[in-house]
Chain A
Amino acid sequence: MKIDAAALKEVDLYLEKLYKKSGESGDSEKSETIRMGRRMADIGFDKTQVRSLQNMTFSTSRFSEIVNYIKNQAGKDEKKQNWFRIANDLLQQLDDLEQEASRIGKNDPELILDVKLRLARGWVKQIVSHYLYARLLTEGGRGDE
């Protein structure tokens, strides 16, 4: 793979920005990935569901497989209790990542494809971390660990 140091730096900076993205108050807890992780915990996602998203994102060679996985899960969620409730936001965030990848990769298809996957993997890592942390706090609060 031919990704260069400059592109790698841009990927890291974007992921850092995503992590620290603040609301008006400057509260880092308003980061999109933090909110998403929390929502997944609040909604009651199982660890296996969240890990499946992460594993798929890390194992795929196509960005659109991540998009399609989320749509597929949301399409199957007939009770509209979990995937369905967050699919739209997840897809919007993936769309933002894709646009960022096009900017970083300029007109180089190979670079764009690579950057898209790197951004998606960084993004999902943040979500999973916050999901696990939020879940731990909830479980700890209930005293049922």
Chain B
Amino acid sequence: MSDIEKFLEGESFLLFQDKTLRDHACKAVENVYQEFEKDEYVAGNQLHSIPAIIQSGGLEEFRKLVERQKEKSKKNDKKKKDKKEIFWNFLFELILSSSPNRNALKTLIKETLEAENLLENAAGAEDKPTLNRIKKENKEKMNLAMEKVLPIYFEHFNCHYFYHVNREAPANE
């Protein structure tokens, strides 16, 4: 078993998923709550579909879902399309985007793996083939960790999201 696999199966990563990941997902939901208008929230069935998608095809299927939803939003009527698109863009930035972003899940995973010395420093590469090898290996490790955390991340995200949305909604007698 490789170092990364050992780490992902270990107790400290379980604790990470149980606390740090939950805190991150809850903070992401709080951002939706603070920055979005109520009609920018997505429908429950769209969010409920995410865990099943991840279970069936992991990160790749999730990427397809988000991109499909972003496209679909564009095809709807002018007013609504922008609203839904905002949410799916938000999810893209939160989970999938490669651009550096303090609030992104990838940033958290990268920092966690770096703290465990599991990612090699690309700055130390002496030549291009070495640099490419380091980048490829680091990317594989990141993907492995992302695949592992994604189902649990959305368990935290969805539960906190629906809890928050209901807090805002009037009682449905």
Contacts and interface: CB of A to CB of B under 8 A. Distances in A.
A63 B16 CA distance: 12
Contacts of B164: 75
A68 B155 contact: yes
Given A71-B162, A71-B163, A113 B171 contact: no
Contacts of A110: 11
B122 interface: no
Q: Is the interface of B mostly helix, strand, loop or mixed?
A: helix
Interface residues of B, number: 25
Interface string A60-101: 001110011101101111111100100100000000001000
B172 interface: yes
B15 interface: yes
B15 A72 contact: no
Interface residues of A, number: 24
B18 A72 contact: no
Contacts of B18: 62-64, 113, 116
B166 A64 contact: no
B169 A78 contact: yes
Q: Nearest 3 pairs between A and B by C-beta?
A: A75-B162, A71-B163, A78-B172
Interface of B: 10-12, 14-15, 17-19, 22, 152, 155-156, 159-167, 169, 171-173
10 contacts: A62-B14, A64-B18, A68-B155, A68-B159, A72-B163, A75-B163, A78-B172, A84-B166, A109-B10, A109-B11
